[in-house]
A and B are shown apart, each in its own frame.
Chain A
């Protein structure tokens, strides 16, 4: 237990700094945008209606959706501008959070400015103040406490929503929460939650003190709190000054196997003297673009995923042909090097409970089709939208009673508890065997092959030292070892971290080589 906490805490400083950098930048950008707009809006009620309407509309979009939306928008922009814009990581997170912070700042600033006592404004005019003097000497100071309250609300929202930026590949305290959720490591989840909540509470308190300081004209209180915030920011921004140009970024999708393989590759690179950073929790669609654009350097993907999602192929070819065709395609179309297959497959496997398999005589997907109208289907979050599902439906007359999507972690318990009757499991997942689930055979070969393979970005493919460090992993991982490693992370009791599982897997690889 203590080791788990130590490991979780060890990641906090770096992620906290990234979290602060992101939230602060978004807040600063939102303030820069909002304050002039609010001054304009306070003088023109029609403008206020339009601007506040837009900000309110943005607020109705869930933060996660807003983040997801910026990926294709930036990708389109990047294509227009010759690929100079990174569609992943800091930029989409910054823009989405900035939009999200607009409403409270705008609304309060407009309220504050329009709420300045008419007598004070009349006096300002009567005394011969220019518009700028009136704003500086009268309106701004009188509206300041209200404006500050808006900034405070925005700060708390932004810090909270910043945890979601993990999904677009921006490091934040959300990394802990998402990784913990995937691997059922509640220590990690709690650490992420407490750290982000703690940050929000501290910032809220300090901004609250500034607000009170302004309201009660207690300069010491206002400036003192501002100074504390300034020191905190300086500490968080310090790492940005340290140039780390030779960090290898290893990407991973949002499940345990990906975390483990990323750590395995990372440890080999660290042994070779590289500094390594992980970008976990990237979506399937996002991750290939990320390696193509050089936002990440290395990651592991599965042949069928590239085949269907990226190459848009719906035909099935033998596994080896598929891998070599992917290698050709990725190199010519995107400059991405396919280094080789790791040696195991992680395909979609339709799994049922052993009792059902026995009582309803289920062995193949044809059998499943027969009973499908009685069955509830549980999938991960993306399967129902993937072409593989269309391919399965085209090959087998499957029509389920209902379909439900789960976080992959909860899909297995949902099957064992009877909430659903069949799931789209991953064939390399240790929880299939551990639960005794029965995998139904795909005799028509509807689901393409899913060989795990290492993809390397254009920037790194010429680095012989790097390639040599990870090349030995090609063909070195058996599906049994992968399942075992996955299960070490995914199981309920005696859990291991992805790094520990990667270490175990590495030992198996080295022992295998020795024998």
Chain B
């Protein structure tokens, strides 16, 4: 029962998936294969369709056309709430239930699944996993900082041992320091648990740091599909290069500042 490395993330397959809202097409005939255990980042500007794409995987949004397969199962054939209980979902606004203790928030997935035994142990294990002190279990969400709340959000998503994690700008509302440490810790969890993770972000630096594969979306389509190394080498194309240019310029600026400062001191 107590095991954190048993989960093995499934492969995901999208076949000619399209989603329209009236005349607006958010995702446009998109096909994509995601290998089991990979960490994929979806980047792109607001309105590029990355969130819609993510939500079609756990059926928070149903595609207008096309198919979504998780480990060869067509998601259309699965009851949405059953499907979602097997998939971890973390999003920017966290959405902890303000009237429940942290412990009940984390265990809510187990409650929904009707698992009665070992809830307290699982909560303790998850708190440890997301590096929160055990005494948090009895607190209410409003007593926690934003970073602590999102740790709880991650713990809640992991409670039912999903193989697949969908993260929609999970660290977007956090301060840079918290964000950096949480991202790093999540990356370690991803590896330790053998998850398949798809993360939506518009922070290219975060994508470069976390993911082993980066998909650049624009107008409902994938404009670039590359590893971080390929993106940084500039061999992928102009759209990707434009996105990478910003963190690269920032990094160069910081290095230059450091050098200038160093020069003054010597």
Residues of chain A at the chain B interface (Cβ within 8 Å)? 117-130, 133, 137-138, 141-142, 217
Complex contact B81–A129 (CB within 8 A): yes
**Which of B60, B82, B97, B99 is in CB contact (< 8 Å) with A126?**
B60
Complex contact B93–A125 (CB within 8 A): no
User: Residues of A contacting B234 with CB < 8 Å?
Assistant: none
- Identify 18 residue pairs between A and B in the complex whose beta-carbon atoms are under 8 Å apart, listed by A's number: A118-B93, A119-B93, A120-B95, A122-B95, A123-B89, A123-B95, A125-B60, A126-B58, A126-B60, A126-B95, A127-B85, A127-B108, A127-B109, A133-B81, A142-B98, A142-B99, A217-B99, A217-B140
User: Looking at B60, B82, B89, B99, which has the most chain A CB atoms within 10 Å of its CB?
Assistant: B99
Q: Could you tell me how many residues of chain B have their Cβ less than 8 Å away from some Cβ of chain A?
A: 23
Q: Which of B40-90 contact A (CB under 8 A)?
A: 58, 60, 80-86, 89
> CB of B211 within 8 A of chain A?
no
Complex: A329 Cα to B161 Cα, angstroms: 85
Cβ-closest chain A residue relative to B101: A217
What does the 1/0 interface line of B124-155 toward A look like (CB < 8 Å)? 00000000000000001000000000000000
> CB of B122 within 8 A of chain A?
no
User: Residues of B contacting A133 with CB < 8 Å?
Assistant: 81, 112
User: Residues of A contacting B89 with CB < 8 Å?
Assistant: 123, 126-127
User: Residues of A contacting B36 with CB < 8 Å?
Assistant: none
**With A117-B95, A129-B112 given, can you name 7 additional A-B contacts, CB distance below 8 Å?**
A119-B94, A121-B95, A123-B95, A126-B91, A128-B80, A128-B109, A133-B81
Q: What is the minimal beta-carbon distance from A229 to any residue of chain B, in angstroms?
A: 23
Complex: A117 Cα to B83 Cα, angstroms: 24
User: Residues of B contacting A121 with CB < 8 Å?
Assistant: 95
Complex: A126 Cα to B86 Cα, angstroms: 10
Complex: A117 Cα to B140 Cα, angstroms: 16
Cβ-closest chain B residue relative to A217: B99
Complex contact B109–A123 (CB within 8 A): no
User: Residues of B contacting A142 with CB < 8 Å?
Assistant: 97-99
**Complex A-B, nearest 3 residue pairs according to Cβ-Cβ distance, in ascending order:** A123-B95, A128-B84, A128-B85
Complex: A20 Cα to B81 Cα, angstroms: 45
Complex: A138 Cα to B141 Cα, angstroms: 14
Q: What is the minimal beta-carbon distance from A303 to any residue of chain B, in angstroms?
A: 68
Complex contact A127–B112 (CB within 8 A): yes
User: Residues of A contacting B80 with CB < 8 Å?
Assistant: 128
Complex contact A120–B98 (CB within 8 A): yes
User: Looking at B58, B97, B109, which has the most chain A CB atoms within 10 Å of its CB?
Assistant: B97
Q: What is the minimal beta-carbon distance from A47 to any residue of chain B, in angstroms?
A: 23
User: Looking at A121, A123, A137, which has the most chain B CB atoms within 10 Å of its CB?
Assistant: A123
Complex contact B84–A125 (CB within 8 A): yes
> CB of B156 within 8 A of chain A?
yes
Q: What is the minimal beta-carbon distance from A146 to any residue of chain B, in angstroms?
A: 13
Complex contact A119–B95 (CB within 8 A): yes
User: Residues of B contacting A141 with CB < 8 Å?
Assistant: 99
Interface of A is mostly: helix
Complex: A120 Cα to B149 Cα, angstroms: 13
Cβ-closest chain B residue relative to A121: B95
Cβ-closest chain A residue relative to B109: A127
Complex: A121 Cα to B99 Cα, angstroms: 13
Cβ-closest chain A residue relative to B96: A123
Complex contact B82–A123 (CB within 8 A): no
Complex contact A122–B98 (CB within 8 A): no
Complex contact A127–B84 (CB within 8 A): yes
Complex contact A128–B81 (CB within 8 A): yes
Q: What is the minimal beta-carbon distance from B151 to any residue of chain A, in angstroms?
A: 15
Complex contact B109–A122 (CB within 8 A): no
Q: What is the minimal beta-carbon distance from B158 to any residue of chain A, in angstroms?
A: 12
If A128-B109, A141-B99 touch, does A123 touch B94 (CB 8 Å cutoff)? yes
Cβ-closest chain B residue relative to A141: B99
User: Residues of A contacting B98 with CB < 8 Å?
Assistant: 117, 120, 142
User: Residues of A contacting B99 with CB < 8 Å?
Assistant: 141-142, 217
Complex: A142 Cα to B98 Cα, angstroms: 8
User: Looking at B81, B83, B96, B156, which has the most chain A CB atoms within 10 Å of its CB?
Assistant: B81
**Which of B58, B81, B108, B156 is in CB contact (< 8 Å) with A130?**
B81
Q: What is the minimal beta-carbon distance from A260 to any residue of chain B, in angstroms?
A: 60
Complex: A124 Cα to B112 Cα, angstroms: 10
Complex: A55 Cα to B140 Cα, angstroms: 37
User: Residues of A contacting B97 with CB < 8 Å?
Assistant: 120, 123-124, 137-138, 142
User: Residues of B contacting A123 with CB < 8 Å?
Assistant: 89, 91, 94-97
Complex: A24 Cα to B96 Cα, angstroms: 37
Q: What is the minimal beta-carbon distance from A343 to any residue of chain B, in angstroms?
A: 72
Complex: A151 Cα to B29 Cα, angstroms: 51
Cβ-closest chain A residue relative to B86: A128
User: Residues of A contacting B86 with CB < 8 Å?
Assistant: 128
Q: What is the minimal beta-carbon distance from B174 to any residue of chain A, in angstroms?
A: 15
Complex contact A127–B93 (CB within 8 A): no
Q: What is the minimal beta-carbon distance from A390 to any residue of chain B, in angstroms?
A: 66
**Which of B82, B91, B93 is in CB contact (< 8 Å) with A128?**
B82
Complex: A119 Cα to B170 Cα, angstroms: 13
Complex: A142 Cα to B142 Cα, angstroms: 14
User: Residues of B contacting A217 with CB < 8 Å?
Assistant: 99, 140
User: Residues of A contacting B109 with CB < 8 Å?
Assistant: 127-128
What does the 1/0 interface line of B91-115 toward A look like (CB < 8 Å)? 1011111110000000011001000
Complex: A129 Cα to B96 Cα, angstroms: 14
User: Residues of B contacting A127 with CB < 8 Å?
Assistant: 84-85, 89, 108-109, 112, 156
Q: What is the minimal beta-carbon distance from A130 to any residue of chain B, in angstroms?
A: 5
Complex: A217 Cα to B100 Cα, angstroms: 10
User: Residues of B contacting A138 with CB < 8 Å?
Assistant: 97
User: Residues of B contacting A128 with CB < 8 Å?
Assistant: 80-86, 109, 112
User: Residues of B contacting A130 with CB < 8 Å?
Assistant: 81
If A138-B97, A217-B99 touch, does A122 touch B84 (CB 8 Å cutoff)? no
Cβ-closest chain B residue relative to A138: B97
